[in-house]
Amino acid sequence: MLTDPIVEDDRWQAAGLAPLAEEAARATLAHLSLAPEDFEIAVLACDDARIAALNADFRGKPRPTNVLSWPAQDLAPETPGASPEPPEPEDDPHHLGDIALAFGTCAAEAEAADKNFSAHVTHLVVHGVLHLLGYDHIRDEDATVMEGLEAAILGKLGLPDPYSEDDGPDGL
């Protein structure tokens, strides 16, 4: 398994996070021509209180957020809009890093935007895995690259482009 879910909030079990995270992470690595079996990712499935504490500890923002990620290695490019260097596979699966998802925030965002919950969480896992691989959205040029990858990966999974304004009420 590429992903190792750590479930702290049981609502994630009912939502089917484990297979959803595995599919999203595999699709992301495959899209970037990386072999999923060469890597591993820990996925913390938590509630809003837990992610707010993590957000405070690691980003100085004491409030819930939908997804956080902690890359094991800094792969970010120095040049805006450039692609990060891919991680080097090792003999054992290479730990790419950790992702945390907050159930309440994800559910509220999906409901507020009239998005399918599973599709929204799939997008957030893809987003988190891209962060682990050195992609970011702070600089405009990097955001364009990252959002393009997200849309392409989600498209391969049969999901709509989360950045399209034409998604309508059945979109993400």
Which residues sit in the known binding site? Answer: 127, 131, 137
* Distance, CA of 118 to CA of 120 (rounded, Å): 5
Binding-site residues from annotation for Zn(2+): 127, 131, 137
* Token pair belonging to 131: 């962060």
- CA distances in angstroms from 87 to 22, 38, 43, listed in the order given: 19, 10, 19
